[in-house]
Amino acid sequence: MSQFNLDKLLQEQNTWLVTGCAGFIGSHLIENLLLHGQKVIGVDNFLTGHRHNIEDVLQHTKQSENFEFVEHDLAVDCDLKALESFDVDYILHQAALGSVPRSIENPLNTHLCNVDAFIYMLEFAKRKNVKKFVYASSSSVYGDHPALPKQEENIGKTLSPYAATKRIDEVYADTFSKCYSLDCVGLRYFNVFGKRQDPHGAYAAVIPRWVSSLIHKDPIEIYGDGETSRDFCYVQNVVQANILAALKNNSQSNDIYNVACSERTTLNELKDIIIQLLKDKGIEVNSENIFYKDFRPGDVRHSLADISRAKKQIGYLPTHFIREGLSEAIEWYIANS
């Protein structure tokens, strides 16, 4: 496992606005920024984020006096008056309503949170003349395009409302870049996992959900034959990509980068890795309590990222692959299952 040193990038203090700061990824962003002496404004409405994520960050961060939190719903207050008084250098826009199944059940709410709020933030970034607007996109925008690995320029038809909202965000970012010279960078996340990832709820991500189920002797469900594959990406890789995208001068205006490891893991392989890590921690697992179900609508069969563009243009290099990331996060998953 290699190391990534933020000290070289974050030598000068700037003000960062992080939306979705109470969420899984957002909380890691504010934590790393605060640890490196940055000023951070965090925004969240707690629709899917949690106050305890912010509290956890501030408990372990001596520079908490540099943090200011604004409880705010970006999709409701379109003029963003609650943020107007702040001078902002960089925006890391993470706020969104995730989950393909949830978007299929409620496409209107997904659009409101992922598209309406997004354009409000673009308008705010334009008004504030920020240095860079970095936003979370998704590998789901590749849709039904069959080629592997996924390259940023090759996009198929979207397979879910969630994917459609992320694609619309990319189009709006491109439009604002051309019309208003707003410097935007989109990051297409591939199956991010790590500490503070919620194991509970109907739309919990697969890794924390499986860990929790195995610990509590509950059945786990695998959709399909288990040979569906994903490019799992540890959250520290995502932190690196966001900060690099914001600060690297050689990044292209309104470019889009895959954020992943360029490593494919099947669900069956993931199951085996988790079971072994739990056994290594002295937790007995009933490996027979695993059931295969039908494929879900909107799910992509295989996902693998080409990360060569991010490597070349912003210097991105994953520090954690699936086994290293899980080994680092497993104790948190166990303690919070």
**All domains in the chain, ordered by first residue:** 13-191+235-260+300-319 (3.40.50.720)
Q: What is residue 299's predicted lDDT score, i.e. its pLDDT?
A: 72
pLDDT of residue 21 exceeding 80:
yes
CB 48 within 8 A of CB 75: no
User: Mean pLDDT in the chain?
Assistant: 90
What distance in Å separates the CA atoms of residue 130 and residue 239, rounded to the nearest whole number? 19
Strand 39-44 to 67-71 pairing: parallel
Q: What is residue 290's predicted lDDT score, i.e. its pLDDT?
A: 87
pLDDT of residue 252 exceeding 70:
no
Q: What is residue 176's predicted lDDT score, i.e. its pLDDT?
A: 96
Q: What is residue 238's predicted lDDT score, i.e. its pLDDT?
A: 97
Using a pLDDT cut of 90, give the percent of the chain over it. Answer: 66
* pLDDT band (50, 70, 90) for residue 200: confident
Provide mean pLDDT across the span 197-210: 77
Residue 189, beta-bridge partner list:
138, 259
pLDDT of residue 3 exceeding 80:
no
Strand 229-230 to 265-266 pairing: antiparallel
* pLDDT band (50, 70, 90) for residue 1: very low
Task: Determine phi and psi for 41, rounding to 5 degrees.
Answer: -110, 120
5-43 in b/e form (b: 16+ CB < 10 A) is ebeebbeeebbbbbbbbbbbbbbbbbbbbbeeebbbbbb
Q: What is residue 233's predicted lDDT score, i.e. its pLDDT?
A: 95
* pLDDT band (50, 70, 90) for residue 203: low
pLDDT of residue 55 exceeding 90:
yes
pLDDT of residue 169 exceeding 90:
yes
Using a pLDDT cut of 70, give the percent of the chain over it. Answer: 96
* pLDDT band (50, 70, 90) for residue 217: confident
Provide mean pLDDT across the span 2-6: 65
Provide mean pLDDT across the span 82-110: 91
CB 125 within 8 A of CB 80: no
* pLDDT band (50, 70, 90) for residue 251: low
What distance in Å separates the CA atoms of residue 32 and residue 67, rounded to the nearest whole number? 12
Residue of higher predicted confidence among 215 and 254: 215
The pTM of the full predicted model, rounded to 2 decimals, is 0.92
Give the active site residue among 90, 135, 142, 162: 162
Q: Catalytic residue at 162? A: yes
Q: What is residue 294's predicted lDDT score, i.e. its pLDDT?
A: 85
Q: What is residue 250's predicted lDDT score, i.e. its pLDDT?
A: 57
pLDDT of residue 272 exceeding 70:
yes
Q: What is residue 327's predicted lDDT score, i.e. its pLDDT?
A: 93
Provide mean pLDDT across the span 247-255: 72
